[in-house]
Amino acid sequence: MRRLLAGLAAGTVLAAVPACGSSSGSSEPEDKGSGGVTTVKVGIIPIVDVAPLYLGEKKGFFKERGLKLSLSPAQGGAAIVPGVVSGQFQFGFSNVTSLMVAQSNGVPVKAVVNGASSSGVEGEDFGGLMVKKGSPIKTPKELEGRRVAVNTLKNINELAVRNSVRQDGGDPDEVELVELAFDQMPAALEDGQVDAAMVVEPALATIKAQGGTEIASPLVDIADKLTVAMYFTSEKYAQQNPELVKRFQEATAESLAHADAHPDEVREIVTTYTKIPEATLEQVTLPKWPAQANRSSIMDLLKLGHEDGLFKRSPDLDALLP
């Protein structure tokens, strides 16, 4: 017994040492690797939208500019924004509304390059307001008094749904919005727990496969070719490494353009970091990836945010956007 316990104790001490030892250094922003290549850590959400980064890394667009991407999948912006601000990640992926809310709350974020945009085509976007097969609801206005699922309350999808209802002549305050993760929406819709769901790919393709109907494309309703998400860094990192940020911008812009022009390559690379079943992936509507963010669409989004009381203080778009 004594030996066993001594062994356990020794093992724990040994095991604890590397755990403490590894805590130094990794948060330093400028890790110059071998051959003058800088590794940058990017906090991403493992969804279709970030495919251009995976593709650009594979195609060597980042390597050409002396960058090596280390893509860290995280579960949503709640983990990415603090990670970027504290320097764990050099860059992060976030929807634009979250960035505006963060900035208006005094969180020092700085958007650097476009992330993903809506297609701008009604009924052919990567996000849609869906009702189940055979539902009597045909228009957003009819959602008054009904229950609608959005992934996060007080964020871009809530703004979008309320805007679509308003544009259709309805009163958005009469719509009961409930929070539900995208992946749970198909089941909730099918089961009748919600009457409609504001859903994005690949759950959108799942609902369509079940015979669900799209009654609006809320992201399209906000603005033509709405910039939905962007890559961002912290203000401090942008000030200290302007040259590196510029290289990241250029490489990402090239990756976005490449992804936009080669949807087949996108569908292929998506299988390397998600588990979207093949049959679903074929049906998935890809976002648009213009190299430049659409500033006027972001101003429309800002206006909606003000209307729905999202901001305590007005976000400063000149400071936020590249």
Residue 164 token pair:
């679509």
Render 249-300 in DSSP notation, one character per residue. HHHHHHHHHHHHH-HHHHHHHHHHH----HHHHHHPPPPB--SS--HHHHHH
Largest separation between any pair of C-alpha atoms in the chain? 78
User: What's the rounded Cα separation, in Å, for the pair 266 and 262?
Assistant: 7
- Any idea what the Cα angle at residue 135 is, between residues 132 and 141, rounded to 5°? 105
Q: Based on CB atoms, which residue is closest to other proteins, 19 or 318? A: 19
Span from 84-92, 169-177, 258-266, 295-303 in contact with other proteins (CB under 8 A): 84-92
Q: Based on CB atoms, which residue is closest to other proteins, 149 or 301? A: 149
User: What's the rounded Cα separation, in Å, for the pair 228 and 164?
Assistant: 16
Phi, psi dihedrals of residue 177, rounded to the nearest 5°: -95, 135
What is the phi-psi region of residue 143: left when phi exceeds 0, alpha when psi lies from -120 to 50, beta otherwise?
Answer: alpha
Question: Of residues 236-255, which lie at the interface with other proteins (CB under 8 A)?
Answer: none
Instruction: Determine which residue in the list 62, 89, 93, 289 makes contact with other proteins, applying CB under 8 A.
Output: 89
Q: Based on CB atoms, which residue is closest to other proteins, 13 or 134? A: 13
The answer to whether residue 9 forms part of the interface with other proteins (CB under 8 A) is yes
- Identify the H or E element spanning 215: strand 213-216
The answer to whether residue 74 forms part of the interface with other proteins (CB under 8 A) is yes
Q: Are the C-beta atoms of residues 42 and 112 closer than 8 Å to each other? A: no
The answer to whether residue 322 forms part of the interface with other proteins (CB under 8 A) is no
Q: Based on CB atoms, which residue is closest to other proteins, 177 or 276? A: 276
Q: What is the Cα Rg of the chain in Å?
A: 22
Q: Based on CB atoms, which residue is closest to other proteins, 12 or 240? A: 12
Span from 83-91, 137-145, 219-227, 296-304 in contact with other proteins (CB under 8 A): 83-91
Render 163-188 in DSSP notation, one character per residue. HHHHHTT--GGGSEEEE--GGGHHHH
Question: Of residues 142-201, which lie at the interface with other proteins (CB under 8 A)?
Answer: 181-183, 186-187, 190-191
The answer to whether residue 206 forms part of the interface with other proteins (CB under 8 A) is yes
Q: Based on CB atoms, which residue is closest to other proteins, 278 or 318? A: 278
Q: Based on CB atoms, which residue is closest to other proteins, 48 or 165? A: 48
User: What's the rounded Cα separation, in Å, for the pair 146 and 192?
Assistant: 11
Instruction: Determine which residue in the list 6, 26, 192, 295 makes contact with other proteins, applying CB under 8 A.
Output: 26
Burial per residue of 272-289, b for 16 or more beta-carbon CB atoms within 10 angstroms, e otherwise: ebbebeeebbeebbbbbb
Q: Based on CB atoms, which residue is closest to other proteins, 22 or 34? A: 22
User: What's the rounded Cα separation, in Å, for the pair 219 and 97?
Assistant: 12
Contact string (CB under 8 A) for other proteins, positions 261-290, x = contact: ------------xxxxx--x----------
The answer to whether residue 12 forms part of the interface with other proteins (CB under 8 A) is yes
Please report how close the Cβ of residue 72 comes to other proteins at its closest, in angstroms. 5
Positions in the binding site for other proteins (CB under 8 A):
1, 4-5, 8-9, 11-13, 15-16, 19, 22-23, 26-27, 41, 43, 45-47, 72-75, 78-79, 82-83, 86, 88-89, 181-183, 186-187, 190-191, 202-203, 205-206, 210, 273-277, 280
